[in-house]
Amino acid sequence: MKLQGTSIIGSNRGQGSEAMGQSINPATNQTIDPSYITATEAEMQQAVSLAAEAFKTYRHTSGADKAVFLRTIADNIEAVIEELVARMPLETGLPEMRVRGEAGRTCGQLRLFAGLLEEGSWVDARIDFAQPERQPLPKVDTRSMLRALGPVAVFAASNFPLAFSTAGGDTASALAAGCPVIVKAHSSHSGTAEIVGLAVQQAVASCGLPEGVFSLLYGGGRTIGQALVQHPVIKAVGFTGSYAGGRALMDLAAARAEPIPVYAEMSAINPVVILPGAAAERGAQIAQGLHGSMTLGVGQFCTNPGLIFIHEDHAEVLATETAKLVATSASSAMLNSGICDAYCSGLDALESHAGVVRLAKADAGDGANQAVAALFQTDIKTFLSSEALTDEVFGPASIIVTYNDEADLLTAMQSLEGQLTASVHGTDAELATQGELVSVMEDRAGRLVFNGFPTGVEVCSSMVHGGPFPATSDGRSTSVGSMAIYRFTRAVCWQDCPQALLPDELKDGNPLAIKRSEV
């Protein structure tokens, strides 16, 4: 496939005007052809107009037809997997195995939503039949179901070039809900975006959908992205990235004449508590799991475990074993030089933080932008007196925090900002006594992990990949799993509506045979 370097505007390609530049191989700092071109303001407007036009019909496209569309996207992505394998590692420093794995997850997500649409009950259909004889007033017939919000802007994530980018979770859930999507590509993997974007564009065409259902915009800087979020046609925003970036979009969206929801997944340090019994029983095994979780994907996962709380009397085995593994970890290139620079600054800050000691640091291997795994240790008094220690260090670094009083542990957990996850390791007997700790974990996080590590997010119906602010901008929602579809819907009620005008989901006789609440 010859990449063109231009935006995808409905069924066409943009021309652009200003060069955004080539992708850069983070492991070599070499540029990769082609040069990408920033979408013009007029192209952005065109994508938005097409999306508005497409929404008129796509919002009422049947679940069956939307399912075919999502499955076609997945098939099309699989058909270009070798192109992705050739391109994505160059742009991201990620290995081929990761490309194949993440493509599998991406297609799995699309098919999960397809299955949800085919089954159809997700719309939460509710019928309260009329009661004409009711006293003192007759009761009207009311029926409700969820409908699509409107065109959605999706900002691709740096750290998931497939699963949270062009046809990733946000795009899949918005398309499933019935919302046209305009993706703002991430400049770290422009070529990967183009390959996937073309796969989606072809699916739109072959499924006979209006072209405005999908567009993909390239843009250097923030101009295009900000204009998208401020455009009156756009009704919701999906974003995965830094706190600063997410908060900027939230503030823009809140200041609009018509404020809109922003679903931004931002920062988390994902605390892990290791209780004494577990540490004594299987300290070395936990160390192995912890090391695997903290270094997975060069530590570039939002669920990376950044804080490990452990009783000081039981910390030694865990600290020693984890340090050994960390010290011998192979270094790898991070996604881009900006992320690597930020990681290095984060390490420097920990190195020079009073009361924090470095237990281990891996050696840097050959190549540019290498992240070396690192392990630090401090005590809970130091931790509680320093806000800096709760800052996310995005990369393969963790801090062990020792405590000797459970009350301090509870205070520390309660003092954390909102998290995507909170984990605890314990024997059955000791977990049974930790109701208060688990309650605090629930207060601070979206997902509670028992005897496991936070990386490795299942894409399923009960997954919550969200959590109180600032883990996500809107802790009422999830970005992974089938519940993500609810971010892009609102309920509509039909009162005394003639059968012919009702959606099939609400018609008498339940022609789609979905689960409904009927009273």
Site residues, a second copy (CB under 8 A): 56, 60, 126-128, 137, 139-140, 142-144, 147, 149, 250-251, 254-255, 258-259, 261, 417-418, 428, 431-432, 434-435, 438-439, 442, 445-452, 456, 458, 460-464, 466, 468-470, 473-478, 483, 489-498, 500-501, 517, 519
Position 374: which residue type?
A
CA distance 349 to 397: 12
**Which one is catalytic: 43, 53, 265, 417?**
265
CA distance 323 to 71: 45
Q: How is the beta sheet containing 236-240 ordered, strand by strand?
A: 12-13, 8-9, 214-217, 181-184, 152-155, 236-240, 262-265
In Å, the largest CA–CA distance within the chain is 82
Active site residue 265: yes
**Which one is catalytic: 83, 91, 102, 302?**
302
Closest approach of Cβ 164 to a second copy, in Å? 18
Q: Which is nearer to a second copy, 26 or 468 (CB)?
A: 468
- What are phi and psi for residue 424, nearest 5 degrees? -145, 135
Closest approach of Cβ 134 to a second copy, in Å? 10
Q: Which sign does the torsion angle of CA 401, 404, 406, 408 carry?
A: negative
Q: Which is nearer to a second copy, 367 or 452 (CB)?
A: 452
CA distance 147 to 479: 18
Q: Which is nearer to a second copy, 259 or 365 (CB)?
A: 259
- What residues contact residue 323 under an 8 Å CB cut-off, 6+ apart? 359, 360, 375
Closest approach of Cβ 251 to a second copy, in Å? 7
Altogether, the residues listed in the chain come to a count of 519
Closest approach of Cβ 364 to a second copy, in Å? 30
Running DSSP on this structure, what letter comes out for residue 411?
Answer: H
Q: Which is nearer to a second copy, 19 or 140 (CB)?
A: 140
Per-residue CA distances from 80 to 97, 206, 404 (Å): 15, 16, 54
**C-alpha angle 282-285-291 in degrees, rounded to nearest 5:** 135
CA distance 181 to 165: 12
C-alpha radius of gyration, the chain, whole number: 24
Closest approach of Cβ 462 to a second copy, in Å? 4
CA distance 209 to 22: 32
Closest approach of Cβ 506 to a second copy, in Å? 9
Closest approach of Cβ 319 to a second copy, in Å? 25
Q: Which is nearer to a second copy, 96 or 458 (CB)?
A: 458
- What residues contact residue 336 under an 8 Å CB cut-off, 6+ apart? 24, 26, 158, 188, 369
Closest approach of Cβ 327 to a second copy, in Å? 27
- What residues contact residue 296 under an 8 Å CB cut-off, 6+ apart? 304, 455, 456
Active site residue 302: yes
Q: Which is nearer to a second copy, 122 or 403 (CB)?
A: 122
CA distance 296 to 397: 11
Q: Which is nearer to a second copy, 327 or 438 (CB)?
A: 438
Closest approach of Cβ 392 to a second copy, in Å? 16
Contact 156, 186 (CB under 8 A): yes
Q: Which is nearer to a second copy, 256 or 404 (CB)?
A: 256
Q: Which is nearer to a second copy, 17 or 476 (CB)?
A: 476
Q: What are the DSSP E strand ranges found in 380-483?
A: 397-403, 419-425, 445-450
CA distance 21 to 363: 32
* Catalytically annotated residues: 265, 302
